[in-house]
Amino acid sequence: MMKSMHNTHNTQQAGIPGYLIFMLALTAGMAVASLYYCQPLLALLGNDFHLNSATVGTLPTLTQAGYALGLLLLIPLGDKFDRRRVILIKGLALAAALAFTAVSPGLAPLLLASFIVGITATMAQDVIPAAAAMTDSSQRGRIVGQVMTGLLTGILLSRVISGFIGEWFGWRSVYLAAAASMLLVTILLWRALPRFTPPVP
């Protein structure tokens, strides 16, 4: 009998479907891209909120600080709890943080949203070990490399896409589009990812 895709993942499998590899790579890229969307938008944000360059420059700093804190505090959760649940919760939280950024009415909410975006963007670092756990040793390097390629592509394209959308449609459109995309990919992962059994200490 075929097992449901939501069954507990107890053993490494010989292969992982191509569509799931693509989804994991896309998720990693989109999550890490959230860290860099604001950088081409600083001038637009400064003009909108009447901020000087020093003040608006705190946005990417706070985002990176949130990311560092998330790496320290949240990444170990994947070794203690079902990694699928951790990924899905972070995905929903990241989508909410991006949406909150898009509708922020002032500097204080924007700074808070940027910090939360950084924390929840660490889901990219949960996706990579999830991909490794679903493959055997003979394919693990190749598949993890493909997911890492998605992550690096997200870093490279984030500024270009953000700058283009921001220039033509406004900076809020960047975050609205990012929030909607992250929500969609999280729903798809909810359907596709298996559950993972945490390692027994």
Q: For residue 127, give the CATH number of its domain.
A: 1.20.1250.20
Question: Does 22 fall in a domain?
Answer: yes
Looking at 10-24, 72-86, 181-195, which range is the least confident one?
A: 10-24
Question: Does 197 fall in a domain?
Answer: no
Grade residue 186 by pLDDT with cuts at 50, 70 and 90.
very high
Q: Which tens digits make up the pLDDT trace of 97-117?
A: 999 999 999 999 999 999 999
Question: Does 178 fall in a domain?
Answer: yes
* pTM to 2 decimal places: 0.89
- Average pLDDT, integer, range 56-79: 92
Burial group, residue 4, by CB count within 10 angstroms (0-12, 13-18, 19+): exposed
Confidence check: pLDDT of 164 > 50: yes
Q: What is the dihedral of CA 88, 93, 97, 102, to 10 degrees?
A: 50
How many separate domains does the chain show?
1
Instruction: Specify the higher pLDDT residue, 79 or 15.
Output: 79
Query: Quick one: pLDDT at residue 201?
Result: 58
Domain span holding position 85: 17-192
